[in-house]
Structure formats: C-alpha cells, structure tokens
Amino acid sequence: DSGVTQTPKHLITATGQRVTLRCSPRSGDLSVYWYQQSLDQGLQFLIQYYNGEERAKGNILERFSAQQFPDLHSELNLSSLELGDSALYFCASSEAPSGTTLHFGNGTRLTVT
Amino acid sequence: EDQVTQSPEALRLQEGESSSLNCSYTVSGLRGLFWYRQDPGKGPEFLFTLYSAGEEKEKERLKATLTKKESFLHITAPKPEDSATYLCAVQAGVTGGGNKLTFGTGTQLKVEL
C-alpha cells in the first residue's frame, strides 16, 4: 500500500458531463501529481501541485482543472467529457517538489459513454 | 522533448529463465531514472531510482543499471509472481522548480511455470 488514496475507484458517466476525482497524498507529502493512463498512450503527466501551488503543467486539456487544498488533498475536475477521456487517472505524491520519488495511488477508472 | 522507449513491448519467460528489459531515453538534464512495476488494475509501484551512469541497484531478483543513454532491468531466475508490466521513467527539471516524470509505455512480462 503506497499510502496514496484515490476516490472513487470507478466512475461511469455520459458525454458532456462533469466529474471530480479526489486524491489524498501520503502522510507528510506536500506535492501531488495527476497522470492519465490510456491503452494506447501510457502514462501522461497532467499537472503537479506543491503545498497548494501549481508547479508544473503537462498536456492537460483546458476542459480539465485541478487544485490542491490547505489540507493537501487534491481534486481533478473533468468537464464537457468526451468518449476519448475514458482512461485511468492516477494521483501520485512526493515529499518535495522535485528530485524525489513519486508514490502512486491505485487510480480512478473513468468510463464515458 | 523528453522521450523514453522501452523494449520489448512484451516478454514471455519460463520460470528460472533470466532476461533483461531495455529502456532508452533522451532527456535534457536528467535528474533521475525510475523503474516501476504495475500490476493489472493497480497503480505503479516504485522499484528503483538511478541517478548517474554506472550506478546499479538490486532488489531480490531484480537489478537495474544505467548508462548515459539507456537503462536495463535484469531479472534473474524469475518466478510467476514477477509477472507484471515494468515501467521506466525519466525525471527532468522543470522551470519553476517542478518535477516531471516522462514514462515509457512499458514491458509486459509474463513468467510461466
């Protein structure tokens, strides 16, 4: 068990809808990362937060947004969902903003119908 | 742009049959190379971090090595429980002090009795 908690485990929704994925980092970790894993593309970096502030941005769509709250949990919001957004969404956490190991949760499987 | 290429895509071994997985990379300012193991429906599980060419790390039947252009994950006398997808990732510095891991698409290993 990595100590990173993600909820929900599964989410099924329709195109055009909006969903929120939640992540609680390991105790003591200040940085949170979001990754998307689809069958054909592997793990793709979306965004990183450190102690509430955005630190790095990957190929995150404008329809997606994230934030990290004062208690360090993070939420990833996905809106105007499309069929192609169906994927596994992983959250990871680390102690420091750079140069440290990322520990991953078990993901949220999103299915858009 | 940082790139990670893993080979082979899939590997089938008999129990006890040793082999190596390859990870080739191009990155500007490598801060670390990571190996993760991922089981179906789970998040990546951290195995090793390598920081400089010539470095080696071992854990049970696994040994990771690093050169300036590639890394190898050697599996000695594998067992069926070693079956998983092995992911390689490179960490580079990001403007603003962030942290970005770029992953390869993985090698799916199956070890049979």
Of B43, B49, B87, the CB nearest to A106: B43
- Interacting residues of B110 by C-beta distance below 8 A, sequence separation 6+: B10, B11, B12, B13, B83
Instruction: Kindly report the backbone phi and psi dihedral angles of residue B80, in degrees, each rounded to the nearest multiple of 5, phi listed first.
Output: -55, -30
**In chain A, helix, strand, coil percent, each to 5?**
5, 55, 45
Q: Longest C-alpha distance within chain B, in Å?
A: 50
For residue A100, the chain B residues in CB contact (below 8 A) are 99
Please write the tens of the pLDDT for every residue from B53-95: 999 999 999 999 999 999 999 999 999 999 999 999 998 766 6
With beta carbons less than 8 A apart as the criterion, state whether A101 and B48 touch: no
Give strand pairing partners of A11.
A110
A46-70, pLDDT tens digit by residue? 999 999 999 989 989 999 999 999 9
Chain B residues within 8 angstroms (CB to CB) of chain A:
31-32, 34, 36, 41-46, 49, 87, 89, 91, 93-94, 96-106
In DSSP terms, which residues pair with A54 in a beta bridge? Answer: A49
- CA-based nearest residue in chain A for residue B29: A99
> Are B107 and B86 in contact, with CB atoms under 8 Å apart?
yes
CB B25 within 8 A of CB B71: yes
Q: Which positions in chain A touch B42 (Cβ < 8 Å)? A: 106-107
Residue A96 — very low, low, confident or very high, per pLDDT cuts 50/70/90?
confident
